[in-house]
Amino acid sequence: MTPTPNALSRHHILCLQNRFNRFHSYPSWARVMLKSILHEKLPTSRFQKARMTHNNATVLPRLPVPDLHKTLAKYLETLRPLLLEEAARGGAPYEAGFALRRRWADEFASGLGQLCQERLHDLDRNSPRNWLDDNFWLRSYLQWRAPLLVNSNWWLVFNDDQLHPAEQNALSGFSSWQIQRAAWLAHRTLQFKDKLASQELHPVTTRTGVWFQESVSKMFNLSRIPQVSCDILSPLSSPSDPLSYNVIVIARNWFYTLRAYDPSPEHTSAWNLISAETFISRLNAIVRDVNTRIPGPEIGVLSADSRDTWASNLQHLISISPKNLATHETIVKSLICLCLDSETHALPSPPSSSLSQPSTISQASLDSHLHAIRSVSSNVANRFFDKPFSVIVDPAGRAGAMGEHSPCDALIPSIVGEYAVVQEAEVNASLVEPPSDEGWSRLDWVTDDQVVDAIRTARARAEAIIRNSDDSMLWFEEYGTDWIKNTGFSPDAYIQMAMQLAWYRTMGTFTATYETALTRMFDKGRTETIRTLSVESRAFVLGMNDPHSSVPMKINLLRLAIQKHTSLTRDAATGRGIDRHLLGLRNMLLPGERCEIFDDPLFTQSQDWRLSTSGLSAGHHFRGTGFGAAYEDGYGINYLAAPSMVKFGIETKFSGVGTSTERFKGSIVNALREMKDMVSRGLEYDRTNNNDDGPVPARL
């Protein structure tokens, strides 16, 4: 018997309950969060409270459930380039392949798909957030069992501080400049949080403010918690809990708490952010204590292991001592992590290359900084990978941030990080008090032989992941978004087409391509997929490789590809994308229900994101960024498009067949150079024939 929509809703809630029942042995503070989900009452953050106190707060619309027929029509369009490629390589004829998929889509729309759509609407009506939260995010992040190290966590490399004393480039130990910069960055990060809460920055009277406040609230005072089969996110810690005012400091693998807020002398319930000078004093005290100890047990590396293994190891840690439960709870409830590395990672200079080289830093220095923030063998245990935001500083004062992806998307911490780094570390040395025992404490773990063995095997696996990560930055400084805009093209779409061209020239084929789109115009909106591979982008790439294509023909193909990509971007950002909807529809299938559209191998192929891409900001204050490739034979590319340059953070695996970061960097450079030359020639021809001195985007 087919469930009614209401019965399905109860079925869905029961499934959630069954899914979370295995967590019953976890501590009570974690169960509070699970109970709130099952009773559809969300924990309220400090930022949400601030939003509710403003009568003129902007209310964002709810994320819509897209139209079923429109989603299926758009989905079929994304299959065209894959079917064309299959036919071009001697496979099934394009017309027959497309007709078959269209028939399956029509059958789905008039039958089971219509029922799934009704169920999805019912889920939406019964969800306190939206239909997507319990579908996409649970499956995409929290059920994923791979280690967070490289595979999931993002990393962000900060520019050096211009006030950095030239003589303070320590290779090991802890330096005074390292401590000063770490204190400053942590202070600025928390200052940003406070300015949001007070509405001084990004007030909730704007759409962006509402979305941003909601998103940033998930950066602080929570953590991912490993569980067998499916992780959970901790509840946001309460402002009344003293643990919520701590920063976790990790140095030589030892964990410490640093109280970043002191109780207000005027108001018993208020807490005030400590000064940067007080931060320095407390960090000095922690470092002094660390220097009296041998390196600590490498508990941090356990969080870099596979999620099921880490879950088992954490449960064992908790079982052998209540102190470990308290330690983990303190870490989970803390604001952020602050990692003081005791070694400066270095790389040998690479052989000379014809690639575009960074103008202000050597490639070896740039990539060594990148790798240190991503994590390397010498510092992988000096991390806690479950936290959404960790500031990292090495003895030479090089800094960056790394974080767990599931609570919020990388754009959010990049905005916070930019605020932290935009102002140099100006502190008044006379206000830095001598180290004392005030405002910090040790946070030690109790271990046994089983934990020691687990650390040994976790480190071996982490080192294997690190060794296999082919990760490098490309600084393309020949032009940037200003020149692209002057041609009348969308910079992001233009860069995406360059990457399509680079992929084809290195791999000899086409692949499904993921680009992140933000759905920030909706309440609690996060992301949607832009499927860059289209009939138009494929035609552009083939045209660029056709010696018989003229410059005007190639420019026209580029124009059509960019127009298509811009349209796809607009749909994704306005709640009319297809991938989250398709996932939601699949999740609405009951046991025993099947349909050809989802069983089709081409459905899977269309989501095999071997080229996974995401653009952040202009990145004026960042040396680089990155995230891991989704497939061993693919690339993860995070890029920073500035007016006069584009920085690409590119990651793949050394074990991948046919992939090479160095080769792909060269292909991107050549694609961008060739595209500029082509467009410039077209512009010059247009100006000459039209006696016009300005850009003519309409004719392009």
CA angle 316, 321, 325 (to 5 degrees): 75
User: CATH number, domain at 657?
Assistant: 3.30.559.10
Give the integer Cα–Cα distance in Å for 220 and 182. 17
Classify residue 52: in a domain, yes or no.
Answer: no
Question: Could you tell me which residue, 614 or 163, shows the higher pLDDT?
Answer: 614
User: What is the rounded average pLDDT of the residues 62-66?
Assistant: 95
Question: Do 237 and 244 meet the contact criterion of CB atoms below 8 Å apart?
Answer: yes
Distances 509 to 37, 85, 433, 541, 672 between C-alpha atoms, Å: 45, 8, 62, 10, 19
Residue 588 has pLDDT above 50, yes or no: yes
Nearest to 625 by CA among 158, 160, 156: 156
- Range in 203-212, 394-403, 515-524, 660-669 with the lowest mean pLDDT: 203-212
Give the integer Cα–Cα distance in Å for 233 and 70. 34
Give the integer Cα–Cα distance in Å for 676 and 690. 21
pLDDT value for 360: 79
Q: Same structural domain for residues 448 and 492?
A: no
- Range in 285-289, 479-483, 602-606, 679-683 with the lowest mean pLDDT: 679-683
pLDDT value for 25: 37
Please report where in the chains the tokens 């067998």 appear, as a residue.
228
Q: Same structural domain for residues 263 and 410?
A: yes
Question: Do 584 and 136 meet the contact criterion of CB atoms below 8 Å apart?
Answer: yes
Residues 6+ apart with CB under 8 A from 66: 575, 576, 577, 578, 581
CA angle 202, 623, 365 (to 5 degrees): 155
Distance from CA of residue 105 to its chain's centroid?
A: 33
pTM over 0.85: yes
Residue 48 has pLDDT above 50, yes or no: no
The domain boundary residue, chosen from 443, 468, 493: 468
Residues 6+ apart with CB under 8 A from 161: 181, 397, 399, 421, 424, 425
Residues 6+ apart with CB under 8 A from 219: 193, 336, 388, 389, 403, 407, 408, 412, 413, 416
DSSP state of 136: I
Classify residue 566: in a domain, yes or no.
Answer: yes
The HSE-up count of residue 259 (CA atoms within 13 Å, CB side) is 14
Residue 169 has pLDDT above 80, yes or no: no
User: CATH number, domain at 395?
Assistant: 3.30.559.70
pLDDT digit string (tens) for 454-486?
A: 999 999 999 999 999 999 999 999 999 999 999
- Look over the chain and give the mean of its residue pLDDT values, rounded to a whole number: 89
Helix (H) or strand (E) holding 48: helix 46-52
User: What is the rounded average pLDDT of the residues 497-506?
Assistant: 99
User: What is the rounded average pLDDT of the residues 625-642?
Assistant: 97
Query: 10 Å Cβ neighbour count for 592?
Result: 5
Q: Same structural domain for residues 429 and 520?
A: no
Predicted confidence band at 8 (pLDDT cuts at 50, 70, 90)?
A: very low
Q: Same structural domain for residues 249 and 325?
A: yes
Q: What percent of the chain has pLDDT over 70?
A: 89
Q: Same structural domain for residues 377 and 513?
A: no
Residue 1 has pLDDT above 50, yes or no: no
Predicted confidence band at 356 (pLDDT cuts at 50, 70, 90)?
A: low
Question: Could you tell me which residue, 38 or 662, shows the higher pLDDT?
Answer: 662
Strand partners, 440: 258
Q: Same structural domain for residues 280 and 304?
A: yes
Mapped onto helix, strand or coil, the DSSP state of residue 150 is coil
pLDDT value for 56: 66
Helix (H) or strand (E) holding 120: helix 112-125
User: What is the rounded average pLDDT of the residues 372-386?
Assistant: 98
Which value, in Å, is the radius of gyration of the alpha carbons in the chain?
26
Residue range(s) defining the domain that contains residue 510? 477-690
| Residue 555 in tokens | 């420019």
| Residue 75 in tokens | 């989905």
Classify residue 42: in a domain, yes or no.
Answer: no
Please report where in the chains the tokens 């019965």 appear, as a residue.
7
DSSP string of 654-676? Answer: TTSTT--HHHHHHHHHHHHHHHH
Predicted confidence band at 208 (pLDDT cuts at 50, 70, 90)?
A: confident
Strand 154-158 and strand 224-225: pairing? unpaired
Residue 646 has pLDDT above 90, yes or no: yes
pLDDT digit string (tens) for 607-627?
A: 999 999 999 999 999 999 999
Active-site residue, from 12, 328, 405, 565:
405
Q: Same structural domain for residues 261 and 385?
A: yes
| Residue 408 in tokens | 């919020």
Residue 269 has pLDDT above 80, yes or no: no
User: What is the rounded average pLDDT of the residues 2-20?
Assistant: 37
Residue 26 has pLDDT above 50, yes or no: no
pLDDT digit string (tens) for 90-116?
A: 999 999 999 999 999 999 999 999 999
Residue 405 annotated among the catalytic residues of the structure: yes
Query: 10 Å Cβ neighbour count for 98?
Result: 17
Q: Same structural domain for residues 447 and 338?
A: yes
Classify residue 147: in a domain, yes or no.
Answer: no
Q: Same structural domain for residues 272 and 158?
A: yes
Residues 6+ apart with CB under 8 A from 10: none
Q: Same structural domain for residues 321 and 446?
A: yes
Predicted confidence band at 698 (pLDDT cuts at 50, 70, 90)?
A: very low
- Range in 85-89, 180-184, 692-696 with the lowest mean pLDDT: 692-696
pLDDT digit string (tens) for 316-330?
A: 999 999 999 999 999
Predicted confidence band at 222 (pLDDT cuts at 50, 70, 90)?
A: very high
Give the integer Cα–Cα distance in Å for 419 and 452. 40
Residues 6+ apart with CB under 8 A from 624: 156, 157, 366, 369, 370, 473, 640, 647, 649
pLDDT value for 35: 37
Q: Same structural domain for residues 453 and 550?
A: no
Give the integer Cα–Cα distance in Å for 258 and 263. 14
pLDDT value for 377: 97
Predicted confidence band at 147 (pLDDT cuts at 50, 70, 90)?
A: very high
Greatest mean pLDDT among 23-32, 130-139, 283-292? 283-292
Residue 187 has pLDDT above 80, yes or no: yes
pLDDT value for 276: 95
Classify residue 385: in a domain, yes or no.
Answer: yes
pLDDT value for 141: 87
Classify residue 249: in a domain, yes or no.
Answer: yes
Q: Same structural domain for residues 586 and 451?
A: no
Give the integer Cα–Cα distance in Å for 482 and 122. 47
- Range in 7-21, 402-416, 434-448 with the lowest mean pLDDT: 7-21
Q: Tally the domains of the chain.
A: 2
